[in-house]
């Protein structure tokens, strides 16, 4: 059964090679689920999972079994949701003539790549990125990178709307706390927190997420007597959404974010977020459209960006309304689905309707790209 107005391509098959689908597998899992949803109305989608939490021998055995069975009747397109998984393609002789796509997300390609990972990208029929920011940083580290198509991500829409101006000065951080990476901005916000509390004694900060760096951050709060900060750990999607709707501001000063789903999620409810100048936030929300930007990660810069939103009810309401409108016009699941289908249309030979459900994706902002040193 196919939805009205949708052309069925029952003979076309796409295999999605992924660590897993959904929020349980982080942002990449969300993207994988969005890819599956984007293609299922138009072709058959096989999911070949490489479970990241299994012991390595079992992971290899499972993905090898998927690929071995799949090679008996090769799909029309194999989609790897991570460059590290794309190296598998060259290991299957029967896949030699099967086109494949690779999705790149951010930091995993913002370093010099060699060996099988470089070969995997060079051999791809299509490389898809979540933002121009990801492409530019990847190309700086890897000048040989072939052409990359950009498909901004999308989230599930919500009719629920909050007026942050009516909320107390409660702020939120959502993100993994990883010892090897530490790029989500937890330390920067904690560094600025005494300045923020000095200006707003009733300010509260909730931290959602967990990871190997959480014990160190908890010690910081205790040793530095950072009042008003609490850790909520891993929460359900419903609990996370309640936290968004109870917050006047989301802190998201990440230096190495390829897209930033948490910021988009908060904005979808009408909650403004604080990003960092010169990062992907400036690409996705040009002209400060619903966000505030800290100039850098210094405590004063973070505090100066956050304090006006936490103290000025009218400003918080205006920013939140603008952020919500931006998301609902540009960053919903259906917007990503249409963008992704356009990217893989030719290689998968999809017969798409003339108008495929989303507004045309915006051209890269000249001023933003020039600031990044990219020729247009």
pLDDT computed for residue 150 by the predictor: 97
Residue 163 scores a pLDDT above 90: yes
Do 13-154+332-366 and 164-330 have matching folds?
Answer: yes
**pLDDT tens, 102-154?**
999 999 999 999 999 999 999 999 999 999 999 999 999 999 999 999 999 99
- Domain 13-154+332-366: CATH superfamily is Glycogen Phosphorylase B; (3.40.50.2000)
Query: Would you place residue 179 in the very low, low, confident or very high pLDDT band (cuts 50, 70, 90)?
Result: confident
Instruction: Name the CATH architecture for the domain at 164-330.
Output: 3-Layer(aba) Sandwich (3.40)
**pLDDT tens, 285-301?**
987 778 999 999 999 99
Question: What pTM was computed for the model?
Answer: 0.85
Sign (positive or negative) of CA dihedral 125, 112, 186, 367:
negative
**pLDDT tens, 221-277?**
999 999 999 999 999 999 999 999 999 999 999 888 899 999 999 999 999 999 999
Note the helical H segments in 87-142: 115-123, 132-141
Mean pLDDT of the chain: 87
Burial 112-145 (b: 16+ CB within 10 A, else e): ebeebbbebbeebbbbbbbbbbbbbbbbeebeeb
Structural domain spans, the chain: 13-154+332-366, 164-330
**Separation of alpha carbons 104 and 99, rounded Å:** 17
Residue 18 has φ and ψ, to the nearest 5°, of: -150, 160
Share of the chain above pLDDT 90, in %: 69
Helix or strand holding residue 207 (H, E) = strand 204-208
Residue 68 scores a pLDDT above 70: no
Which one is predicted more confidently, 150 or 22? 150
Query: Is-contact 42 76, C-beta < 8 A?
Result: no
């Amino acid at each position: 059964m196919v939805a009205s107005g949708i052309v069925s391509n029952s003979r076309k098959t796409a295999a999605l090679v992924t660590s897993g689908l959904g929020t349980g597998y982080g942002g990449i899992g969300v993207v994988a689920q969005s890819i599956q949803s984007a293609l299922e109305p138009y072709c058959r989608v096989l999911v070949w999972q490489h479970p990241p939490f299994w012991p390595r021998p079992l992971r290899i055995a499972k993905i090898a079994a998927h690929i071995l069975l799949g090679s008996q009747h090769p799909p029309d397109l194999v989609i790897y949701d991570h460059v590290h998984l794309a190296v598998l393609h060259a290991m299957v002789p029967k896949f030699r003539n099967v086109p494949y796509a690779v999705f790149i997300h951010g930091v995993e390609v913002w370093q010099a790549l060699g060996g099988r990972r470089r070969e995997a990208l060079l051999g791809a029929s299509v490389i898809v990125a979540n933002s121009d920011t990801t492409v530019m940083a990847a190309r700086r580290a890897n000048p040989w990178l072939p052409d990359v198509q950009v498909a901004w991500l999308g989230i599930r829409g919500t009719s629920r709307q909050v007026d942050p101006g009516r909320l107390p000065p409660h702020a939120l951080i959502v993100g993994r706390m990883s010892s090897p990476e530490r790029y989500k901005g937890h330390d920067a916000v904690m560094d600025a927190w005494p300045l923020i509390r000095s200006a707003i004694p009733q300010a509260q900060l909730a931290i959602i997420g967990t990871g190997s760096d959480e014990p160190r951050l908890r010690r910081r709060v205790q040793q530095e007597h950072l009042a008003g900060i609490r850790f909520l750990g891993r929460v359900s999607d419903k609990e996370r959404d309640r936290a968004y709707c109870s917050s006047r501001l989301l802190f998201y000063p990440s230096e190495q974010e390829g897209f930033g789903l948490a910021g988009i999620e908060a904005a979808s409810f009408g909650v403004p977020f604080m990003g960092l100048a010169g990062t992907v936030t400036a690409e996705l929300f040009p002209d400060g459209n619903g966000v505030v930007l800290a100039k850098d990660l210094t405590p004063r810069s973070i505090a100066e960006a956050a304090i006006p939103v936490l103290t000025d009810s009218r400003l918080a309401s205006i920013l939140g309304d603008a952020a919500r409108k931006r998301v609902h016009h540009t960053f919903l699941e259906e917007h990503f689905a249409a963008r992704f289908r356009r990217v893989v249309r030719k290689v998968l030979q999809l017969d798409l309707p003339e108008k495929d459900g989303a507004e045309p994706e915006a051209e890269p902002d000249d001023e933003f790209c020039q600031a990044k040193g990219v020729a247009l």
